[in-house]
Amino acid sequence: MELSVKLLRDTSEILIEHVDSGSIRVFNNLSDALDYIKRVLEEELRRKQEECQRQEESLEELSSRTWYIRFPLTRLFSALRFLYEKKIRDVKRGLEEYCKAAGLSKSNIRAIVPTFVSLGLQEGNKLTEKGNLVAKYLSEGKLEQAADVLFECAASNSLLREILQELWSTDMNSVSEVVKSVLARHGYSRHDEVNYTSEFVKFLLRHSCRCRCYVVCNIVRRYLREKRRAYINSIPKECLPDVTYELLSYLLETRPYILQSVLDPAGLRIDQIQILRESDKILVIGRHSEHVVQILPRVLITRDILYASALRQELDKLRGELLQRARNNRTSYLITMLILVNDIYTRLKLYLEHLIRDQSFSTKIIDLP
């Protein structure tokens, strides 16, 4: 933007011309002219700042979508351990020493560094905080902790996050199919890219509890809300609260009358409750009631559509454990038994049973979605 300011001697008027557009503004006094110039410059500065911000966001998005892997996972981990154990801060020099010690060509550095950068493990010529943490955990043999940090890194990369969100099965055999499909959509077609990316995702699923919970919850969410296919052959115990919270939120939004009928014996109204997460507990609390309903999440996985006998055994065992606790008249227990009937795909059912003191009320079994 360019402004031209002229003072007309005959009339004492001030002309301000926008050179780019040719538009002219006329002012009778200097104060008004200066105010106008100030407003124009402030508007131009704001526009430039917004443009810079959009460019930064675009670069950040491009960076987060960048993915490069053409080196086996075991070698990548070995390189990280080497850097940590040798206490080498200069990544390039450290990788040169690693390649020499491992009998590899130094040209492999060109395949290692882009993967570190894509995962946010390296910035400039140094490992990031997360890079050092992963290297430390790998060196100490703590695969679960290393995998949890790497899951955070993968979730920050939008392409890897898209792969994790597209997984429809907890079976490792389906991973390569999803990886190949997502990578192809973004122009990645090399055989080694598909293989090594699949290897990385499988590592996360095997060793990161946080990754497994994220994937299982996402599969359940898409099954419920998008009617997507699903196959779930296991739900880790630590993931059950997250999955159950997802199920209850879904029922509250789409079938509130079912929850209302189950909670009626406790005198709780569906429009006056809150579903709360407290650590590993899920509680239903009424806004105007002292009564608390504690959710007891459980899962039954079966290949038999005639699952009644197996369900009865699980419930009898659980009821026996609850008899003493359920006598507290201010707390009741809602058993939420997620039933996974597995064939080619998984069908979800939900069994609800409300225990108040030592009695059972309002049992329901629901086909989902």
> What is the reported pLDDT for 7?
66
Sign of CA dihedral 92, 93, 95, 99: positive
Strands annotated E in the chain: 3-7, 14-18, 24-27, 122-123, 126-127, 273-278, 281-286, 292-302, 331-342, 346-356, 359-368
> What is the reported pLDDT for 316?
86
More confident residue, 26 or 258: 258
In which order are the strands placed within the sheet that holds 281-286?
Answer: 273-278, 281-286, 292-302, 331-342, 346-356, 359-368
Q: Which of 47-56, 87-96, 203-212, 261-270 comes out lowest in average pLDDT?
A: 47-56
Q: How far apart are CA 135 and CA 101, in angstroms?
A: 18
First to last CA, the chain: 58
Counting DSSP H helices and E strands in the chain, the numbers are 13, 11
Interval 118-143: pLDDT, tens: 999 999 999 999 999 999 999 999 99
At 36, the amino acid letter reads Y
Q: Which residue has the tokens 């939900």?
A: 350
Question: How high is the mean pLDDT of the chain?
Answer: 86
> What is the reported pLDDT for 62?
42
Q: Which of 161-165, 166-170, 275-279 comes out lowest in average pLDDT?
A: 275-279
More confident residue, 71 or 10: 71
10 Å CB burial of residue 209 (0-12, 13-18, 19+) is: middle
Q: Which of 24-38, 88-102, 194-208 comes out lowest in average pLDDT?
A: 24-38
More confident residue, 273 or 246: 246
Residue 327 pLDDT grade (very low, low, confident, very high; cuts 50, 70, 90): low
> What is the reported pLDDT for 151?
97
User: For the chain, what percent of residues have pLDDT higher than 90?
Assistant: 53
> What is the reported pLDDT for 5?
67
Backbone angles phi, psi at 258, to 5 degrees: -70, -50
Question: Is 255 strand, coil or helix?
Answer: coil
Average pLDDT, integer, range 281-301: 85
Residue 348 pLDDT grade (very low, low, confident, very high; cuts 50, 70, 90): very high
At 89, the amino acid letter reads R
Asked if the model's pLDDT at residue 50 lies above 90, the reply is no
Asked if the model's pLDDT at residue 178 lies above 70, the reply is yes
More confident residue, 345 or 321: 345
> What is the reported pLDDT for 185?
93
80 to 91, 97, 194: CA distances (angstroms) = 9, 12, 22
Residue 89 pLDDT grade (very low, low, confident, very high; cuts 50, 70, 90): very high
Average pLDDT, integer, range 137-163: 95
Question: Is 220 strand, coil or helix?
Answer: helix
142 to 90, 137, 233, 247: CA distances (angstroms) = 24, 5, 26, 33
Asked if the model's pLDDT at residue 283 lies above 80, the reply is yes
Q: Are 207 and 147 contacting, i.e. CB atoms less than 8 angstroms apart?
A: yes
Cβ neighbors of 201 (< 8 A, separation 6 or more) are 154, 160, 163, 164, 167, 175, 179
Asked if the model's pLDDT at residue 36 lies above 60, the reply is yes
Interval 210-243: pLDDT, tens: 999 999 999 999 999 999 999 999 898 889 999 9
